[in-house]
């Protein structure tokens, strides 16, 4: 069954609205004017930060879904053209070449970035003029839309079709916004081994393999959900070395090496503990990348300083260790699922 939880779509894009409607999602539209950033050498960072900013601008309305899409070629970001002449210029530059479409998607503070590759035909001036006249593409990244007269431009594509339209379905499946297409029920990370893999886990495993990297996990509030999601992907044994489920502080201390002083002073749910958990997992396994999570999934255990839904993430690599904080709304299952997906996203970015 489609999701019944109404969400706010922080976008005026008719294509994103169509994707949600076709998926049976109940939603309302809230257009935002959040300022956008552009990092030509960091397309993933660009779309992730823009998606988060759009979501934050509509956060007062409730649970917000937001997205940002760019076309990327030769370290140049192609956003929406200023006018029809610039649209034609974009199409000339994309003609006969393969570019990448990046979409950052944000929901309840969790983010994912999805990429697809698109190869254009060699375009004549006549074709470009015809396309621009038919589509009026000034509200489309890269000045084109695969869903409207795309056959005039596109020779082939790989990856998510909906991503090229501006809203990939993979993250929405992971977050339970749309039903898992194979199981007929909302996907739940702790039960990932019973169903086909979460799209985010499949993407991670493929990327780790391509770059010759291995990862590990240290989990508290998810109880092994991240490891279950990764190992549900066939072939994950080549890139996933193992994990520690450190539900008790004694395991955090004696297995992962979190100091007793840190646990006493900062607490189990803290930046300091998350960092030491991630370092411990990488040290124990020899992995290139390790992620850790420690949080309060609820329904009990929250305080004004550390509310239910608070999760600290740690990421340890050879370059160093960093932490992130999120406060996820929803019940225990939702908090745990969003935590799993966010952790997979952190691993994916680190493996890129």
3-class secondary-structure state, position 140: coil
Quote the number of domains for the chain. Answer: 2
Same domain (yes/no): 91, 211: no
Average pLDDT for residues 132-145, to the nearest whole number? Answer: 88
* Distance set, CA 3 to CA 61, 167, 272 (Å): 18, 17, 37
Same domain (yes/no): 53, 157: yes
Percent of the chain with pLDDT over 70: 93
Angle at 340 between CA 335 and CA 343, to 5 degrees: 120
Distance CA(153)–CA(138), nearest Å, equals: 16
> Is 280 contained in some domain?
yes
Greatest pairwise CA separation for the chain in angstroms: 71
Tallying the residues shown for the chain, one arrives at 352
Q: How confident is the model at residue 185 (pLDDT cuts 50, 70, 90)?
A: very low
Same domain (yes/no): 38, 168: yes
Domain end position, chosen among 151, 174, 197? 174
- Torsion, Cα 50 56 59 64, to 10 degrees, reads 20
Listed in sequence order, the residues at least 6 apart from 170 whose beta carbon sits closer than 8 Å to its beta carbon are 112, 114, 160, 163, 199, 200, 203
pLDDT over threshold 50, residue 204 = yes
> Is 182 contained in some domain?
no
Of 78, 332, 317, the closest CA to residue 190 belongs to 332
Q: What is the helix, strand, coil percentage profile of the chain, to 5?
A: 40, 20, 35
Residues taking part in catalysis: 68
pLDDT over threshold 80, residue 300 = yes
> Is 180 contained in some domain?
no
Same domain (yes/no): 64, 143: yes
Same domain (yes/no): 163, 284: no
Domain end position, chosen among 106, 140, 174? 174
Lay out the sheet containing 310-317: strands in order across.
240-245, 215-219, 289-295, 310-317, 320-327
Which CATH number belongs to the domain containing residue 256 in this structure? 3.90.950.20
Listed in sequence order, the residues at least 6 apart from 150 whose beta carbon sits closer than 8 Å to its beta carbon are 144
Distance CA(173)–CA(136), nearest Å, equals: 32
> Is 81 contained in some domain?
yes
Per-residue confidence (pLDDT) for residue 330, from 0 to 100 = 76
Distance CA(128)–CA(122), nearest Å, equals: 10
- Core vs surface per residue 207-228: b (16+ CB within 10 A) or e: bbeeeebbbbbbbbbbbbbbbb
> Is 161 contained in some domain?
yes
Distance CA(105)–CA(172), nearest Å, equals: 9
Same domain (yes/no): 291, 222: yes
> Is 227 contained in some domain?
yes
> Is 179 contained in some domain?
no
Angle, in degrees to the nearest 10, between helices 332-351 and 199-211: 20
Average pLDDT for residues 34-45, to the nearest whole number? Answer: 92
Which CATH number belongs to the domain containing residue 80 in this structure? 3.90.950.10
Give the number of other CB atoms < 10 A from CB of residue 40: 12
Same domain (yes/no): 329, 211: yes
Per-residue confidence (pLDDT) for residue 189, from 0 to 100 = 35
For residue 283, what is the enclosing H or E element?
helix 271-285
Domain end position, chosen among 174, 209, 228? 174
State pLDDT tens for residues 206-250.
Answer: 999 999 999 999 999 999 999 999 998 999 999 999 999 999 999
Q: Find how far residue 178's CA is from the centre of its chain.
A: 15
Same domain (yes/no): 63, 159: yes
Distance CA(272)–CA(278), nearest Å, equals: 10
Distance CA(94)–CA(307), nearest Å, equals: 48
Q: Find how far residue 164's CA is from the centre of its chain.
A: 15
Per-residue confidence (pLDDT) for residue 180, from 0 to 100 = 56
> Is 184 contained in some domain?
no
96-100, 211-215, 326-330: least confident range: 326-330
Same domain (yes/no): 155, 217: no
**Structural domain boundaries enclosing 289:** 189-351
Same domain (yes/no): 130, 275: no
Angle, in degrees to the nearest 10, between helices 125-135 and 84-94: 130
Helices (H), 109-240: 125-135, 161-165, 169-174, 199-211, 225-231
Same domain (yes/no): 19, 155: yes
Same domain (yes/no): 198, 307: yes
């Amino acid at each position: 069954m489609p999701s019944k939880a109404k969400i706010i779509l922080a976008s005026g894009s008719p294509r994103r609205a169509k994707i949600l409607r076709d998926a049976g999602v109940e939603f309302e539209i809230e257009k935002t004017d959040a300022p956008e950033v552009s990092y030509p050498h960091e397309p993933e960072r660009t779309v992730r930060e823009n998606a988060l900013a759009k979501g934050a601008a509509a956060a007062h309305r409730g649970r917000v879904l937001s997205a940002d899409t760019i076309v990327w070629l030769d370290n140049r970001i192609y956003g929406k053209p200023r006018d029809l002449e610039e649209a034609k210029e974009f199409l000339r530059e994309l003609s006969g070449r393969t570019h990448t479409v990046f979409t950052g998607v944000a929901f309840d503070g969790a983010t994912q970035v999805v990429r697809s590759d698109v190869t254009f035909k060699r375009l004549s001036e006549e074709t470009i003029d015809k396309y621009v006249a038919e589509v009026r593409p000034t509200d489309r990244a890269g000045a084109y839309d695969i869903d409207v007269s795309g056959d005039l431009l596109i020779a082939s594509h790989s990856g998510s079709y909906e991503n090229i339209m501006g809203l990939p379905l993979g993250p929405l499946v992971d977050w339970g916004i749309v039903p898992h297409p194979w199981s007929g029920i909302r996907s739940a990370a702790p039960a990932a081994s019973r169903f086909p893999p979460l799209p985010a886990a499949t993407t991670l495993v493929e990327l780790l393999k391509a770059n010759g990297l291995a990862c590990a996990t240290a989990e508290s509030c998810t109880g092994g959900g991240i490891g279950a999601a990764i190992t549900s992907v066939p072939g994950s044994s080549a890139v996933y070395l193992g994990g520690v489920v450190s539900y008790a502080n004694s395991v955090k201390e004696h297995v992962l090496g979190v100091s007793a002083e840190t646990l006493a002073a900062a607490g189990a749910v803290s930046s300091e503990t998350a960092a030491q958990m991630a370092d411990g997992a990488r040290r124990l396994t020899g992995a290139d990348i390790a992620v850790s999570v420690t949080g309060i999934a609820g329904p009990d255990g929250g305080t004004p300083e550390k509310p239910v839904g608070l999760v600290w993430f740690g990421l340890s690599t050879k370059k160093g260790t960093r932490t992130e904080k999120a406060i996820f709304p929803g019940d225990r299952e939702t908090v745990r699922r969003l935590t799993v997906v966010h952790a997979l996203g952190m691993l994916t970015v680190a493996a890129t």
